[in-house]
Chain A
């Protein structure tokens, strides 16, 4: 009996490694600490009723953001570990097995569990406020999406201490990721972690498309909608059409591993190349899914801090939409070297390059928004201005990669690594940081400390260039990605050391940001106004943080940058349009709101249980988990009592309190 337990636990827990032991201990300690704190302050109930069951888009947004910052930390630590190993491979800091696991989890976590939730967090916080709605179209589904993401991410992360991490690369090419290549459970954690959170992402995509198309405030025609909302629309349309492909692809890989199917296996007529083909049909749109909202954020910020209308609104919209459209026609550029022949390569090379055109137009429009503007540079604007040079150089190297015959030399080299970090960090991370700094006061009612923010900014920027510029050179030196060690004759070491220094500068930058948040909370200075930056769009017209119901009265919109125009009219002493005044002066009414629900949490937890069962092939656990899922669905279907009304006097009280601070 005892032996059996021992044998089981040695397979179940990852053992025998100080690194992982340390992690296990710290995870256990953190858990104990959290449980203790919550119990000590009697906060369990509060946590459940105020947060875990909340369907309020603002709270869900905040939870997304917290989770994503934790994931940024985890992915960042992975990155630093890799960089240490690459600076001094002779030290054997990480063995091959660890190194492989770490770049795999780094890639997955950064893109799927850091960038995506950070993006969803911003969607949630901003979109309803920006279009003048009280919530998203389907608040219950929204909460479900969050918890699916959260439990999916947890399932993925748990593999670090239980069972072993996946180590077949962030897109897990078969046959390496098949049972024949990865017999451990790590790959199953990968499949189920991503699958579960992917379903959540898909639901979010649908939710926001409906929200944006159907819930805009009266008068806000599509062509009057703020650019961020446009970018969310284009990103969500892309999610809707791309994520099902991911779902199927992972499902097929799962069938291969679990039921012995032969989609991508070596034998039985399976074709691993079909997986490459499918995964990139999702993977390429995915990178645009994460960059498009960043484009939207930049558009908002540039206009705000140039105090000038966004230049070329129509072009911007058209560019966004055409990028999401074309993103579906370029996937093969990730495997030009597969030997699909000149026709295929030429076609996909050209479609890829085409994307440079609308992207370029966006860049020019931002520049000309600043041109003849009156620029000020608080932190959100700093990130925006730093983004432009970084991103266009990264975009340019992307175009170089898209030249198919040249890509035969670039493919899988550090040139590629440098390209995508430049667009991902310079574009996505900088963009989301900009958004976070910009909308932070809207979320919490206070601004982040500017001085510390500037330190973080400079460390990130300088660190970025120091880290990734040498990697282009390493690419030309023939260094391939995913090497845990290399031959010293190649002369790669000096540049690798430089690169590692850069990575640590970014690590320091991150610490500055943590400090910045802590400092700003400690010396809390609540803002008196809801309009922190002299903003242009509707979200700035209500108090910060926004009341539960967002808008006491749904506003009527008459122009682009409606709030800005209104302020201008006031300055000029002009009157608003009659319908605007009518809407503002209409008597308050009870506000119809969705009720909180525990079902999303429980249902996602059930998915987690089922996923865990699938990973270990424990039938009873699969049964329990799936049973839970079905029970939750039926329970929801039979629930008719899903909403309530906030009475007028409560709205009045809340408004008075919020406005009273003026």
Chain B
């Protein structure tokens, strides 16, 4: 490797997966948001604010938003160049992951053991 840094400077776009870019501002925003999104479900659950279903829904939505915050502000998924292989892979993975969870729940409701 003759001169790695020179190359690094020349091709600033090599951050295919990841967190090269981003500014302090975006990190701080992300951090604040993630705190808020953690406090909301806590408050909701600790005070038993709504019915069980509504509570569950709220905390799940908060978790998903939290995930989005991490992706956008910390993992910089937006900054990826085309073709967005990272994003495509992520979406595909999430779809399969959801299938695993939802499919298991669906199938296994009919085959629960006596408890």
User: B104 touching A269 by the CB < 8 A rule?
Assistant: no
Cβ contacts A449-473/B at 8 Å (1 or 0 each): 0000000000000000000000000
A478 and B19 CA atoms in complex are apart in Å by 61
Alpha-carbon distance A271/B110, docked complex (angstroms): 12
Also in contact, A277 and B107, with CB within 8 A (given A237-B92, A329-B99): yes
Contact of B100 among A269, A273, A281 (CB under 8 A): A281
Q: How many angstroms between the C-alpha atoms of A185 and B56 in the bound complex?
A: 44
Q: Which of A241, A278, A325, A340 contacts B111 (CB 8 A)?
A: A340
Residues of chain B within 8 A (CB-CB) of A344 are 106-107, 110
Distance to closest chain B CB from A343 (angstroms): 8
Tell me if A189 counts as interface (CB < 8 A to partner B). Answer: no
Q: State whether A271 touches B107 (Cβ < 8 A).
A: no
Q: Are B107 and A241 in contact (CB under 8 A)?
A: no
CA A278 to CA B101, docked complex, whole Å:
10
Give chain B residues whose Cβ lies under 8 Å from the Cβ of A246. Answer: none
- Additional A-B contact list (15), CB under 8 Å, known A237-B92, A245-B100: A213-B85, A241-B96, A270-B113, A271-B111, A271-B112, A273-B108, A273-B113, A277-B107, A325-B92, A329-B99, A339-B110, A340-B111, A341-B110, A344-B106, A344-B110
A328 contacts partner chain B, Cβ-Cβ < 8 Å: yes
A340 and chain B: residue at smallest CB distance: B110
Check if B110 sits within 8 Å of A328, measured CB to CB: no
A274 within 8 A of B: yes
Top 8 closest pairs, chain A to chain B, by CB: A340-B110, A273-B111, A241-B96, A341-B110, A271-B113, A340-B107, A328-B96, A344-B107
**B93 in contact (CB, < 8 A):** yes
Does A632 have its Cβ within 8 Å of any Cβ on chain B?
no
Distance of A560 from chain B, by nearest CB (Å):
19
CA distance A636 to B111 in the complex (A): 47
Residues 2-20 (chain B) with a chain A CB within 8 angstroms: none
B115 at the interface (CB under 8 A from A): yes
Inter-chain contact A278/B99, CB cutoff 8 Å: no
Contact (Cβ within 8 A) A328 B99 = yes
Report the separation of the CA atoms of residues A338 and B104 in the bound assembly, to the nearest whole angstrom: 14
Q: Which of B81-115 contact A (CB under 8 A)?
A: 85, 92-93, 96, 99-100, 103-104, 106-108, 110-113, 115
Q: Which residues of A contact B103 (CB under 8 A)?
A: 277, 281, 331-332
CB contacts (< 8 Å) of B111 on chain A: these are 271, 273, 338-340
Q: A332 near B99 (CB under 8 angstroms)?
A: no
| Contact between A269 and B85, CB atoms less than 8 A apart | no
* Cβ-neighbour of A241 out of B93, B104, B113, B115 (below 8 A): B93
Q: What residues of chain A lie closer than 8 Å to B112, measured between beta carbons? A: 271
Q: How far is the CA of A331 from the CA of B106 in the complex (A)?
A: 13
Chain A interface mostly: helix
CB proximity to B under 8 Å, residues A220-251 = 237, 241, 245
Cα–Cα, bound, A241→B98 (Å):
12
- State the CA gap A325–B99 with chains docked (Å): 12
Out of B85, B92, B106, B108, name the residue touching A271 (CB < 8 Å). B108
Contact residues, A262-321 vs B (CB, 8 A): 269-271, 273-274, 277-278, 281
Looking at chain B's contact residues, is the secondary structure mostly helix, strand, loop, or mixed? Answer: helix
In the complex, the answer to whether B96 meets A269 with C-beta atoms within 8 Å is no
Most chain A beta-carbon neighbours within 10 Å: one of B104, B108, B111, B112 = B111
Q: A328 — which chain B residues lie within 8 A by C-beta?
A: 96, 99
Q: Are the C-beta atoms of B85 and A274 separated by less than 8 Å?
A: no
Evaluate contact between B108 and A277: CB separation under 8 angstroms.
yes
Give the shortest distance, in Å, between B92 (CB) and chain A (any CB). Answer: 7
Chain B contacts for A340, CB-based, 8 A: 107, 110-111
> What is the CB-to-nearest-CB distance from B79 to chain A, in angstroms, rounded to a whole number?
18
Shortest beta-carbon distance, A509 to chain B, in Å? Answer: 39
For A269, the chain B residues whose CB sits under 8 A away are 113, 115
Given A269-B113, A271-B113; A332-B92 close (CB under 8 Å): no
Task: Please report the C-alpha to C-alpha distance between residue A340 and residue B96 in the assembled complex, in whole angstroms.
Answer: 21
Q: How far is the CB of A395 from chain B (nearest CB, A)?
A: 24
- Give every chain A residue within 8 A of B85 (Cβ-Cβ): 213
Q: Which of A306-362 contact B (CB under 8 A)?
A: 325, 328-329, 331-332, 338-341, 344
> Which residues of A have CB within 8 Å of B115?
269
- State how many angstroms separate the Cβ of B30 from the closest Cβ of chain A: 28
Q: Check if A274 sits within 8 Å of B104, measured CB to CB.
A: yes
Give the Cβ gap from A248 to chain B, nearest Cβ, in Å: 10
Bitwise interface map of A from 99 to 123 toward B, beta carbon under 8 Å scored 1, else 0: 0000000000000000000000000
Once the chains are docked, how many angstroms separate the CA of A42 from the CA of B96? 52
> Distance in Å from the Cβ of B89 to the closest Cβ of chain A?
8
13 CB < 8 A contacts A-B:
A213-B85, A237-B92, A241-B92, A245-B100, A271-B108, A271-B113, A273-B108, A277-B103, A277-B104, A331-B103, A338-B111, A339-B111, A340-B107
Complex interface: chain B residues within 8 A of A332 (CB): 103, 107
Assess the B108–A274 pair: CB atoms within 8 A.
yes
Cα-based distance from A245 to B101 in the complex (angstroms): 11
In the complex formed, the residue of B with least CB distance to A242 is B96
- Most chain A CB within 10 A, of B100, B107, B115, is at B107
Residues of A within 8 A of B106 (CB): 344
Separation of A344 and B100 alpha carbons in the complex (Å): 14
Separation in Å of the B99 CB from the closest CB of chain A? 6
In whole angstroms, how far apart are the Cα atoms of A271 and B92 in the complex? 29
Query: A404 to nearest B CB, angstroms?
Result: 13
**For A331, what are the chain B residues with a Cβ–Cβ distance below 8 Å?**
103
Distance (Å) between the CB of B3 and the closest chain A CB? Answer: 14
Of residues 22 to 45 in B, which have CB atoms within 8 Å of A's CB atoms? none
The complex places the Cα of A185 from the Cα of B6 at a distance, in Å, of 57
What is the bound-complex CA distance between A241 and B107, given in angstroms?
A: 20
Complex-state Cα separation, A269 to B112, whole angstroms: 9
- Nearest-Cβ distance from residue A540 to partner chain B, whole angstroms: 28
The chain B residue with its CB closest to the CB of A324 is: B92
For A329, the closest partner residue in chain B by CB is: B99
Q: In residues 574-588 of chain A, which contact B (Cβ within 8 Å)?
A: none
Would you give the shortest CB distance from B39 to chain A, in whole angstroms?
32
CA distance A67 to B109 in the complex (A): 43
